[in-house]
């Protein structure tokens, strides 16, 4: 009952595209990252951009707007201290200081709805400034 109430309050749907792209990132490693946005007219979370498997964390950071909120997932590959290749998926709620108050509120209240659809995320970050999610933060969390 609580879940139905929460969905009713935000009224946000997650497009099938979001789910299928996430599965492609998780299982097939087709994408390095996916950026999601909320379409206020259709009340849906949609795919905004994707980055190919060869793209870097810098490419991902450059894909986020300076003045608007987004959600994103990033597939971080790294090598452990015992030389094992690993991969961790990060969910990032991007809410820069320059974005509109309405957008910040909408993204904050709709986050859990999208997050529930993305099964397989290892870590979650919230960032209002690029330094809160730079590569060192990601690397520290992954290890």
Residue 8 has pLDDT above 60, yes or no: no
Q: Provide the 8-state DSSP code for 126.
A: E
How does the average pLDDT of the chain come out, rounded? 91
The pLDDT score that the predictor gives to residue 81 is 86
User: Mean pLDDT over residues 72-99, rounded?
Assistant: 95
Domain range summary for the chain, segments of one domain joined by +: 2-142
Please tell me the pTM assigned to this model: 0.90
User: Mean pLDDT over residues 108-134, rounded?
Assistant: 95
- CATH class as words, domain 2-142: alpha beta
Residue 143 has pLDDT above 90, yes or no: no
Query: What is the sign of the dihedral through the CA atoms of 85, 141, 23 and 72?
Result: negative
Token code pair at residue 22: 């996430």
- Please list the alpha-helical segments (H only) found in the chain: 2-10, 16-23, 57-62, 101-117, 135-142
């Amino acid at each position: 009952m609580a879940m139905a109430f929460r969905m009713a309050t935000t009224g946000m749907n997650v497009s099938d595209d979001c789910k299928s792209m996430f599965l492609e990132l998780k299982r097939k490693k087709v994408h390095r990252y996916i950026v999601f946005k909320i379409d206020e007219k259709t009340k849906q979370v949609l795919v905004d951009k994707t980055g190919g498997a060869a793209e870097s964390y810098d490419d991902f950071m450059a894909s986020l707007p300076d003045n608007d909120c987004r959600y994103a997932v990033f597939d971080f590959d790294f090598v452990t201290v015992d030389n094992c290749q690993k991969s961790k998926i990060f969910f990032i709620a991007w809410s820069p200081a320059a974005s509109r108050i309405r957008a910040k509120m909408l993204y904050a209240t709709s986050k859990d709805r999208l997050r529930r659809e993305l099964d397989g995320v290892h870590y979650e970050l919230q960032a209002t400034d690029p330094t809160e999610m730079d590569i060192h933060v990601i690397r520290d969390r992954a290890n």
